[in-house]
A and B are shown apart, each in its own frame.
Chain A
Amino acid sequence: GQQVMQIPQYQHVQEGEDFTTYCNSSTTLSNIQWYKQRPGGHPVFLIQLVKSGEVKKQKRLTFQFGEAKKNSSLHITATQTTDVGTYFCAVTYERSYNTDKLIFGTGTRLQVFP
């Protein structure tokens, strides 16, 4: 099936440092969603991007959708210990016969040291 690559797999940062995770597809995407999963928890929806080049912000989190709609990034400014968790992108593809189905990336696990 279609694959969504997410990098890096792990990231350890000092509290206050920035963090970025990238989501890449070889096929044009229809839209992309981002989820956060805290340790021991379940994925929780963060945001959705639909338009080419779209940028959305949520406090210290900035989400971008590439111009070609084949990649996306999540950037966290000045990380805090509450940012610890695994961040997943989840996509739907253009010209997919079923747009209700999300394809999840492999996730980036973020660890923040105080």
Chain B
Amino acid sequence: DVKVTQSSRYLVKRTGEKVFLECVQDMDHENMFWYRQDPGLGLRLIYFSYDVKMKEKGDIPEGYSVSREKKERFSLILESASTNQTSMYLCASSFPGETYEQYFGPGTRLTVT
């Protein structure tokens, strides 16, 4: 079974702090994704990566950066957390190509105070 894990289920940070969200997958997937989920807005893509050290902006990259130093690990970084970044963050992975489904991690609920 594919397993996607995220470093924290719940996280509380202060405004201005640097925040790291980690995601690890064990299925050797090339693609990895970071989404945020907000009520009524569905899942919005922040960044994705299709290979080690490769990244591409999604629909809402502002205020975020990512790092992919190893194939299995994809990190989301909030350089200076703000209250409007309070959200559920979901990581996903997949094989390349449109016919492959995405496997999601359990999510990290981040609260910025």
A1 CB, nearest partner CB in chain B, Å: 5
- Do the beta carbons of B59 and A106 come within 8 Å of each other? no
Q: Report, as a range, how many residues of chain A touch the other chain.
A: 20 to 34
With A and B bound together, what is the CA distance between A104 and B97 in angstroms? Answer: 16
- Do the beta carbons of B98 and A42 come within 8 Å of each other? no
Q: Which of B37-45, B69-77, B78-86 contacts A (4 or more CB under 8 A)?
A: B37-45
User: Which B residues touch A104, using CB under 8 A?
Assistant: 35, 42-45
Within 8 A of B (CB), among A36-53: 41-45, 48, 50
In the A-B complex, the 9 residue pairs with the closest CB atoms: A45-B101, A99-B98, A104-B43, A106-B42, A42-B104, A92-B98, A104-B42, A1-B59, A43-B104
Pick 5 A–B contacts, CB within 8 A, sort by A. Answer: A42-B104, A43-B104, A50-B99, A99-B98, A101-B58
